[in-house]
Each structure stands twice: as structure tokens, then as C-alpha cells.
Copies of this chain bind each other. A is one copy, B any other.
Amino acid sequence: MSTKSRGNAVIGQSGGPTAVINQSLVGVILEERKHGHIDRLLGARHGVRGIITDDFIDCTNCSQELLERIANTPAAALRSTRDKPDAAYCEKIFNSFKKNNVRFFFYIGGNDSADTARIVSDLAAKEGYDLQVFHIPKTIDNDLKVHDHTPGYPSAAKFVAAAIMGDNFDNRSLPGIKVDVIMGRNAGYLTAASVLARQWDEDGPHLIYVPEAPISEDKFLGDVDRVYSNRKRCLIAVSEGITLPDGKTWFEKQAETQERDAHGNMQLSGSGALGDYLGDLIKRKLTPVGGKPPRVRADTFGYIQRSFPGCVSEVDAVEARRVGEMAVRYSAEPGSGGSVAMRRRPGPYYDIEYFLTPLSTVAKETRHMSPEYIANSNDITRQFVDYVRPLVGRLPVVGSFEELKTI
């Protein structure tokens, strides 16, 4: 381990927040103090934007007490950005690094951030400037290649599982058809985690739809009708990114059926439009001729899935801290760089090992759910439960009179 300082470091946070993204930040800050190869540790405000505007917080000396509180605070403590740097932008980042003698860059984010890290790393290599670049994974979508899973996902999955569990009891109390729209534009991992809400045979979610399994309107309505006829209620977990067999998303389809005004640039998250469309579709198509429409409600879980405090997976908190720490440890080795990844060790118990994977293996591309995780285009398999349960950990312990006999 080198004890002589080799220059300054920059750390930044990017993309959609998670409940544990600050664990990784604090992991970097506290681990750095155990080493000598970094001089000053600068936190870039709003990610790459802070780098090109010289907007830094010096993290070198903040108190551990404050850092532990920050670690428990959802969303990016350094602020985040949606900027997706092009070549010119990356040039500016690199120039800022040269000016500030930055030799280490830690970037917490998803696949776009990994790509930014890769471009900047390549620029430095081309100029022969000694820069070690580390991507620290973060995304509730769980859609990074190579990584077994990504910090942020387990806590969001825990929130979704708990919310669906509560909503199942709500729907059982006052039966009807309930649609819950869950985040995940391209990958269904978060929606699939709703399967953990099931405790007893009759529990929902009774139907689960993910983007990886396209579904037609007829099949969807047939599924709902069948469940509702059998159970007199139906709880549906559906990804905001569900697709039609022709490859179009349901969201695009509902948007087409709506009048848009000149400024109305409809977006997927932060809108109840898809949920309302699905609820309305069910009501329109499943109302018996001359009969009463079924009681249909739709909720869109929205941003609280990624930022709700107090529903963090313990495994996630530990691992998010750890990937930050590991990035600093790896950086002690001159010339190293890459994305800090996790893989499961073989064996009967959940056990993780950390490793570095080249930035190019993670950059840009999206991972999708394996077909073995999806059943019949409307459910999730036991294999997926085995994959996700150790990540989410303990869920609320509940009880039901179904455990008794009715008099």
C-alpha cells in the first residue's frame, strides 16, 4: 500500500437517487483516510456539472458523525445530474482534473456514468496523464451487465415488496381490482420483487408484468378477468416499461390515445398516466353488459421507491458502503481502474466477493431479466425468488385469520 500521496481525488454522484447512494460516498470518504495515496478528496456537486464549473466540497475533513448521518440519508448528498457528457464535455472534465491535479476519479452511478468514466479515462490515457478512474455502481433498476446486482436495488426492492404486501391486505379488506405501477423502464427486476409480498396462497400480487415479457391487451384483460372471477379480487404489479408484442410500450400506446397540448411533453415517471390508462381499460372492457363496473384503482408508486427513508435493506446498506471502500482500496494500486462489481460465491449461503471489471464491460448497455425468471408472461419464478430474497432480507412479520378455521 502506497503511503506517498499521488495527487487529489474527485468523487461525484450521478443519475436517479437511491436510498443508499450516500453509503458508497461515505465508504469512499472514510476508507480514503486509512490510506496515504490521496491528498485532497473533492466532492463534485451535481456530478460532472460540478467538475466543469469548479463546484466542489472538500470532504477530506468532515466529521465521522456527520458522515454517518449522511450515509443514512436517501438521495445524493453531493447532488446529482442528468447531464450525459459528449466528447467536448468530457474534454472539459479532463481539463478540470489537470488543473486541480486530480489523479483519482470515483463516479457513483449507472451505465451512463460508467460510460462517462470510460471516456474520461481514455482521454487521460491518450495524453499520458496518470488518472485512475473507478465506477461505483448504483441503480434501483439493477440493470448493469457483469454485476450480480447493484447497490440501491435491494432497498428499492424491499420498499416495493413491503408496499405490495400492505396493498395486498388493503385489497383483501376491500376487494376490487388494483393496479400498482412500479419503476423500471427497461428492466423488470424492481417489479419482479413484488413477488416477495406473497405469504399465503390467496395473496397478491396475482399478476406481475415486466418489460421483458411483452403482453397484448387481450392477454392482459384475459388474465385480469380470470383472476377476478376466481378470487373476487385482483392485485396487479406492473412495470412502467411493459411492452406490447409489436415492441411498442404500453405507455407509448396510452400517450397516443390522449390529446396532448402544445407543451404537454408526457413523461413516464412522475405521472399517473399509465396506471390510470390501465385502470380505465379494465373498467371499460371488463364491465358486464348492463352491469356494474368492477371497483378498479391504480396507484403509481413513483419516486418514493428510490428515496423512502427508513426502509433500507441491511444487506444493501453494507454492500453500498463496501463498494465505495473497495474502490479506494483498488485505487492504492497504481494504474488500476474499472467498475467495482459483486459476484456470489458458490455455496448454500449468500456470500459476496468484490472484483474490478473493465469500464467498457459495464458502460452504456442495459441488462435484462433472464427468461428463467419469468413465467407465462404474467408471473415470476422460484429462481428469481432465490436470487432476490437474500438481497431484500427480512420483511414485516404478519398474521392472518386464514390460519384458523372459520366457524
Contacts and interface: CB of A to CB of B under 8 A. Distances in A.
B17 A309 contact: no
Contacts of A397: 69, 72
Contacts of A259: 259
Interface string A163-185: 10111011011100010000000
Contacts of A80: 173-174
A155 B70 CA distance: 25
A279 B271 contact: yes
Interface in A32-58: 42-43, 45, 55-58
B304 A73 contact: no
A88 interface: no
A304 B301 contact: yes
Copies of this chain, count: 2
Contact of A172 (B43, B67, B79, B299): B79
A222 interface: no
Interface residues of A, number: 85
A76 interface: yes
Contacts of A263: 283-284, 287, 293
A276 B80 CA distance: 25
Contact of A298 (B174, B272, B407): B272
Contacts of A16: 174
Contacts of A72: 396-399
A9 to B, nearest CB: 14
A299 B310 contact: no
A73 B279 contact: no
A219 interface: no
A270 interface: yes
A63 to B, nearest CB: 9
A192 B167 CA distance: 23
Interface in A106-160: none
A17 B77 contact: no
Nearest to A166: B307
Contact of A304 (B19, B71, B163, B270): B163
Contact of A297 (B57, B267, B396): B267
A391 B144 CA distance: 42
Q: Which of A264, A276, A304 has the most CB of B within 10 A?
A: A304
B169 A307 contact: yes
Shortest 5 CB-CB distances between A and B: which pairs?
A272-B272, A270-B297, A69-B399, A299-B302, A75-B169
Given A69-B399, A72-B397, A163-B304, 18 more contacts: A17-B173, A43-B401, A57-B406, A80-B173, A162-B308, A163-B308, A167-B307, A170-B303, A170-B307, A263-B293, A265-B283, A270-B296, A272-B276, A272-B300, A276-B276, A297-B303, A299-B304, A310-B310
8 contacts: A17-B169, A72-B398, A74-B170, A80-B174, A82-B174, A166-B303, A272-B300, A300-B300
